[in-house]
Amino acid sequence: MITEQSVFLVVDDADSMRRINSNQLSRLGARQILLANNGLEARKILEARRVDVIVSDWNMPVMSGLDLLLWVRANQKLAHLPFIMITAECEREQVKQLITSGVSSILVKPYNPQDLAQHLARAMRHRPQPQLAVQAKSEAARVMPKVAQRRPTLLVVDDMPDNLSLIAGLFREDYRVRVAQDGSKALAICTSDDPPDLLLLDVMMPNMDGFELASQLRSHPQASRIPLIFITAMDEPDARRKAMELGAVEFVGKPIEPALLRLQVSNLLRHVERHCQVQAEYNGLLDLARLRDDVEQIVRHDLKAPLSGILGLARSLLEGGNLLPGQEHMLRLLEDSSQQVLSMIDLSAVLHRIETGSFELQPSAVALPALLAGMVEAARMTYQSKALVIELDLPDPTCSESLSALGERRLCYSLLNNLLKNACEAAPEGSRVRVQLRAGEQLNVLMENQPAVPPDFRPHFFDKYSSLGKKNGSGLGTYSARQLALAQGGSLELQVDDARNTTRLLLALPRLDALDVEFEVAI
């Protein structure tokens, strides 16, 4: 997985975290590691150097990890890069935003080298090719890790064997217990690849006492978050205050009260357990999003063969002749329907290539007036029952030659058809849907309808799987339209006029005559 040629970019505003992440990557086999203080510095590195994996903190000044992720995914040359986001606990909606933005893996602080290695494997794993559908079922079975089976680890530190035996014995039934008789050994365990979840620490020990050990732990990036409980015969207020200053969550006096200590440990470990659950939840959300994409690929793959067979049978029967008029009509409908579904599957595959950065545009001239005229005529027939007035406003026909876009006809057809369909479905009965084509530096197609998109939905209008008021809507219409526009060098914007209660979508596509090229016009 990690080779000597692999180049890692570590992005964090904290020098200590950059060092610890760099050291952990080195221990995992990385030899080429670049460092950046924030997202903006990382952008400059990415523009100048080859990078294979990005490991970035979320909260940074100048440019956050999320902003860096959005920039990377929007960059055609970098969109494929594995991107691991490191964060403390955050809101579920923020995690969904990361997933929607294309994060490869989410790693929750604190973490150890094993955690980092697992998330590197997750991020660097290639997207699986379409396989048999049964594989999706086995994938679903592993989506949510079974965190409940994990036993937290306690480290008990005391130079007296009797005390070690007593305290360790209280917890062996419920937890994994490790022991150390001096501070040096405890420090080695806490800074190892397998640190404890909680430290039960005596103060008075030879060589390195509990206060000195706690101080060293708090200055170590990897061990600084381990919660600790001091257990000591010292009862002076100064000792208690010093323990609290070093980050202790409890200060327990000797002789201990076993039942009370068990409760204190149990309550504290609930917070540790919550951290593990948060990491598992983030992993599960990410895996579910990937599973949905994988299932889409499987469906595309598995549907094409039978649909092609149905289309071939229909054409064979039509070519064979000797059909009654009604039979021929039904076979024509079957042929058209099969071809439409195959086209939809092909378009879905195109959208997948756009998302993964592997799409290559094969442009030709697309005559937009003819394309729009056919769509509007079909929409008038389809939405007759709603009594919609669907207006088509085209420039003077004499300048039709200058109204050809530079793109792919099937992509233009799909995005325009999606926008018109959405406008007609959203428009109230008896209202007006306006379609206008204008030529400027680019070709601009405007679609306007009532009502205005609600304010709280506007930021999510182009989000994937985001749907408004449609029970069975997939939430892919406006998302795919915008992706198809961007893939052809165009843009798609939402404009809302609350005073007029209208929603307007403005599509811009490159003009053919603005470039010094010649193409055969596709109509």
Tens digits of pLDDT across the chain (523 residues): 677 788 999 999 888 788 888 888 888 888 889 999 888 899 999 999 899 899 998 888 878 888 898 898 888 888 888 999 888 756 667 777 787 788 888 887 767 777 788 888 878 764 433 333 333 334 333 433 444 456 788 999 998 888 888 988 888 888 889 999 888 899 999 888 888 888 898 888 888 888 888 888 877 766 777 888 988 888 788 888 888 888 777 888 888 888 888 888 888 887 777 766 676 776 666 766 665 565 555 555 566 667 777 877 888 888 887 888 888 888 887 877 776 677 667 677 777 778 767 788 889 999 999 889 988 988 898 888 899 999 999 987 555 556 889 998 888 988 898 899 889 999 999 999 999 999 888 999 999 999 999 999 998 888 876 666 655 445 567 888 899 999 999 999 999 999 999 999 999 999 987 654 444 434 4
Domain 364-522 has CATH 3.40.190.170: no
The reply to whether domains 153-272 and 364-522 share a CATH topology is no
Cβ proximity of 348 and 418 under 8 Å: no
Cβ proximity of 83 and 69 under 8 Å: yes
Reported as a single tens digit per residue, the pLDDT across 56-83 is: 988 888 788 888 988 988 888 888 889 9
Task: Kindly state the DSSP code that residue 370 receives in the 8-state scheme.
Answer: H
Task: Measure the CA–CA gap between 296 and 355, rounded to whole angstroms.
Answer: 13
Closest CA to 180 of 197, 203, 164: 164
Closest CA to 196 of 251, 148, 151, 146: 151
Alpha helices in 356-466 (DSSP H): 368-382, 409-426
Task: Measure the CA–CA gap between 148 and 335, rounded to whole angstroms.
Answer: 53
Q: Phi and psi of 433, rounded to 5°? A: -120, 125
Q: Which CATH number is 153-272's, of 3.30.870.10, 3.40.50.720, 3.40.50.2300, 3.30.70.270?
A: 3.40.50.2300
Quick one: tokens of 363? Answer: 């442009």
Name the CA radius of gyration of the chain, rounded: 31
Closest CA to 116 of 196, 191, 20: 20
CATH superfamily of 7-126: Response regulator (3.40.50.2300)
Closest CA to 434 of 418, 445, 425, 442: 445
Task: Measure the CA–CA gap between 499 and 452, rounded to whole angstroms.
Answer: 9
Cβ proximity of 84 and 104 under 8 Å: yes
Cβ proximity of 264 and 84 under 8 Å: no
Q: How far lies 325's CA from each of 132, 314, 328, 332, in Å?
A: 40, 15, 5, 11
**Sheet strands side by side (includes 153-157):** 176-180, 153-157, 198-201, 228-232, 250-253
Q: Which residues lie closer than 8 Å to 305 by C-beta, 6 or more apart?
A: none
* Residue type (1 letter), 168: A
Task: Measure the CA–CA gap between 117 and 119, rounded to whole angstroms.
Answer: 5
Can you give the residue ranges of every domain in the chain?
7-126, 153-272, 364-522
How many residues can be counted in the chain?
523
Q: Is this model's pTM higher than 0.95 or not?
A: no
